[in-house]
Amino acid sequence: MVDFGNTLKTLRLREDMTQAQLAQKLGLTKSVISAYETGLRLPSYDVLIHVSKIFKVSTDYLLGVESQHDLDLSGISDDEVAALKNLIKAMRNRH
């Protein structure tokens, strides 16, 4: 949970969301969001799950257990998905 605050802030800023906006979505106060981001407070399980749904990431990602990102491939054809997978594979083989 050490990285939760930094991860939350990064996700929030990536979405151009203020602490107040996130607090409203979660039914919390801005000061609670600030406390999460500074590591003074940790979220309940319910809040953690709600945050994961808002930012479309896993709770494991929020907790720093996994670093893998899921990509939303909706609206992309099977051929385009295959091309993306091949590109990723080629990039991995480069290293």
Kindly list the structural domains of the chain, giving each domain's residue range(s) and its CATH number in brackets, ordered by start: 4-62 (1.10.260.40)
pLDDT at position 69: 59
The model's pTM is 0.70
Q: What's the angle, vertex CA 52, arms to CA 28 and CA 86, rounded to 5? A: 155
Average pLDDT across the chain, whole number: 89
| Overall residue count recorded for the chain in this entry | 95
pLDDT at position 38: 94
Greatest CA separation for the chain = 47
Q: Percentages helix, strand, coil for the chain, rounded to the nearest 5?
A: 65, 0, 35
pLDDT at position 26: 98
45 or 2: which carries more pLDDT confidence? Answer: 45
